[in-house]
A and B are shown apart, each in its own frame.
Chain A
Amino acid sequence: KNQVEQSPQSLIILEGKNCTLQCNYTVSPFSNLRWYKQDTGRGPVSLTIMTFSENTKSNGRYTATLDADTKQSSLHITASQLSDSASYICVVSASGNTGKLIFGQGTTLQVKP
């Protein structure tokens, strides 16, 4: 069964600290993996997208890694800011011309001053 699992479920950190969110998936055949940021009351917004051949991709203070062998991905946030408080969702797409994405449950991050 295609699944995406994220950990931790929630996380509280102090402003300026770094943190790492984890994503494990069992989607096959794998096409790409993306991380979305969802602010409260808003729709998800794409942060990064990685294909099978990409191991790391950065978007400002966000760096995503992908290990296709172990089927794991991480999202590292550097020098966190209050505006980073949001839910971070890992989404995996299977190969093929289809609109189906498999969503993780998300990690809720709270950055405190």
Chain B
Amino acid sequence: EAGVAQSPRYKIIEKRQSVAFWCNPISGHATLYWYQQILGQGPKLLIQFQNNGVVDDSQLPKDRFSAERLKGVDSTLKIQPAKLEDSAVYLCASSPTWGTGHTEAFFGQGTRLTVV
């Protein structure tokens, strides 16, 4: 089966600019996650969707970050305006609906954002 697709792979922007990342999860996966991975750290959950509803966005900096999953399939994560500390890899992951017997999250290759 096709994996989680993310684009772009790399992005360099100046501080105060805006940027958007796109993710297409594995077909049929109801749950979609966006993680932020700062260099040398583990992934930190930014937002979790179940279909097109938000399950958890407690660690999303809502003053500058936004995410949507309008039709319950692909998703977009936006940063506006970007700060230097937003430099990180943004990972998208998906998993089937909990309770179906599959419990792991499947990850895309990530988007490496550099803010200069």
**Chains A and B are bound partners:** no
Q: Residues of B at under 8 Å CB distance from A?
A: none
